[in-house]
């Protein structure tokens, strides 16, 4: 079993609870009913539209916070920031961070996707990073990476930008994919070579200017392409690398990453997050101050209207969303009829 600790990626960075993310934004009138939603940044576009529709339909004001999912988990636990709904870019964060420490009872997987390799036409090796004779015409046609993509990424002067793996799943998924690549291609020391080209991005850094490549979510890459169709490009990764196939979860999960825990008395100091198909998960916090309103929000999110918004602006929705058989009995009664048991547990 391959398990790596990524301290080499964060040397010199202070890990401070609540750092590097937007504060919860509230324009709610005093005394107005509300619901507090902490969500991954990759859900921002979809959740913003669902939140606006929710307020229009119910009159309930939404307090919204977008952050790296691990950072958000620490903020609503160790940081004691009030939260009703926690929605992570990796449903495993709920299972390994929140549930064992007593902050959540269930994990609803509601969306899925894949990691892709993003770059620009000015990135180093841009002309050779994808397979030949395949046109780029998203979303219908996205070329696969070239067979030697990992060798191109480890050439001198090439940089791979990404987020802090101790704060954000997109960051630790890069590390997991480096591990999977070393296993897939059996290239000695490939993991270390890829890590050596990984650089933590800062606010204001630009792909193609400050770094050459980035592993990101496919729906996020498509949105970035729409904003810059002349310069932004992305390519698909082999399923064994890109965390894109639920059928490979058993293979993925042999790989994992250790990250610091929640920094609370009830949490473990260090937790292992296993690799898995890219899946977004959510829960209602056990101490949610507005539980009834949180249930109403999820009823909209999982409805036909909510699913349609997700299909347009977010990752691919799982409809109906799924839970483990064990978690099904922990859900509020009003949500049980809206979910299904995970297929592997039928």
**What is the DSSP code (8-state) at residue 274?**
E
Of 119 and 30, the structure prediction assigns the larger pLDDT to: 119
* pLDDT, mean of residues 204-228: 97
Q: What is the CATH number of domain 34-112+279-345?
A: 3.40.190.10
Average confidence score pLDDT of the chain: 93
Distance CA(127)–CA(120), nearest Å, equals: 10
- Model confidence over 170-186: pLDDT tens digits? 999 999 999 999 999 99
**DSSP run (H or E) holding 325:** helix 325-328
**Percentage of the chain modeled with pLDDT above 70:** 92
Domain ranges across the chain: 34-112+279-345, 114-243
Pick the CATH number of 114-243 from 3.40.190.10, 3.30.2130.10, 3.40.50.720, 3.30.70.100: 3.40.190.10
**Distance from C-alpha of 197 to C-alpha of 185, rounded to nearest angstrom:** 18
Query: Residue 21: pLDDT above 80?
Result: no
**What is the per-residue pLDDT across 102-123, written as a single tens digit (0 to 9) for each?**
999 999 999 999 999 999 999 9
Q: How confident is the model at residue 345 (pLDDT cuts 50, 70, 90)?
A: low
* Residue 284 scores a pLDDT above 60: yes
Strand partners, 108: 282
As a 3-state breakdown, the chain gives helix, strand, coil percent values, each rounded to 5, of: 35, 25, 40
Q: Above 80 in pLDDT, residue 18?
A: no
Measured between alpha carbons, how far is 208 from 203 in angstroms, rounded to an integer? 15
pLDDT value for 27: 75
Q: Taking the model in full, what pTM does it have? A: 0.93
Rounded CA separation 130/147 (Å):
8
Q: Which helix (H) or strand (E) holds 270?
A: strand 270-274
DSSP E strands in 68-147: the ranges are 85-88, 108-112, 115-120
Same fold, 34-112+279-345 and 114-243: yes
What is the DSSP track for 163-228? Answer: --TTT-HHHHHHHHHHHHHHHHH--TTHHHHHHHTEEE--TT--BTTTBSEEEEEHHHHHHHHHH-
- Alpha-carbon distance values, 99 to 18, 35, 247 (Å): 20, 21, 25
**How far is CA 141 from each of CA 136, 137, 150, 267, 340, rounded to the nearest angstrom?**
6, 5, 22, 44, 31
What's the Cα-to-Cα distance from 333 to each of 27, 122, 295, 310, 339, rounded to whole Å?
Answer: 31, 53, 10, 24, 11
As a whole number of angstroms, the distance between CA 63 and CA 84 comes to: 10
Q: 10 Å Cβ neighbour count for 14?
A: 6
Give the pLDDT of residue 343: 84
* 126/158 Cα distance (integer angstroms): 11
78-103 pLDDT, tens per residue? 999 999 999 999 999 999 999 999 99
Q: What is the pLDDT of residues 149-167, one digit of tens each?
A: 999 999 999 999 999 999 9
Cβ–Cβ under 8 Å, residues 251 and 240: yes
């Amino acid at each position: 079993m391959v398990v790596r600790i990524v301290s080499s990626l964060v040397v010199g960075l202070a890990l401070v609870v609540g750092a590097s993310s937007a504060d919860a934004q509230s324009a709610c009138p005093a005394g107005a009913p509300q619901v507090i939603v902490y969500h991954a940044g990759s859900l921002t576009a979809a959740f913003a539209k669902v939140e606006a529709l929710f307020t229009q339909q119910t009159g309930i004001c939404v307090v919204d916070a977008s952050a790296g999912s691990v950072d958000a988990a620490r903020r609503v636990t160790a940081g004691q920031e009030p939260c009703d709904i926690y929605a992570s870019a990796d449903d495993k964060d709920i299972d390994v961070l929140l549930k064992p420490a007593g902050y959540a009872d269930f994990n609803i997987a509601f969306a899925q996707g894949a990691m892709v390799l993003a770059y620009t036409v000015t990135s180093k090796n841009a002309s050779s990073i994808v397979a030949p004779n395949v046109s780029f015409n998203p979303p219908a046609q996205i070329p696969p990476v070239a067979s030697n993509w990992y060798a191109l990424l480890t050439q001198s002067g090439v940089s791979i930008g990404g987020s802090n793996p101790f704060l954000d799943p997109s960051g630790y998924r890069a590390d997991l994919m480096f591990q999977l690549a070393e296993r897939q291609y059996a290239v000695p020391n490939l993991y270390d070579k890829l890590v050596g080209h990984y650089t933590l991005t800062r606010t204001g850094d630009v792909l193609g200017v400050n770094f050459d490549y980035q592993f990101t979510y496919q729906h996020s890459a498509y949105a970035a392409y729409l904003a810059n169709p002349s310069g932004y490009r992305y390519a698909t990764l082999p399923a064994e690398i890109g965390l894109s196939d639920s059928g490979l979860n058993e293979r993925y999960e042999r790989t994992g990453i250790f990250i610091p825990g929640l920094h609370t008395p009830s949490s473990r100091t260090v937790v292992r997050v296993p690799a898995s198909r890219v899946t977004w998960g959510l829960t209602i916090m056990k101490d949610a101050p507005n539980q009834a309103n949180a249930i109403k929000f999820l009823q909209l999110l999982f409805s036909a209207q909510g699913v349609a918004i997700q299909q347009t602006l977010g990752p691919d929705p799982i409809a109906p969303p799924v839970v483990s058989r064990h978690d099904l009995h922990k859900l509020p009664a009003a949500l049980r009829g809206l979910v299904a048991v995970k297929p592997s547990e039928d």
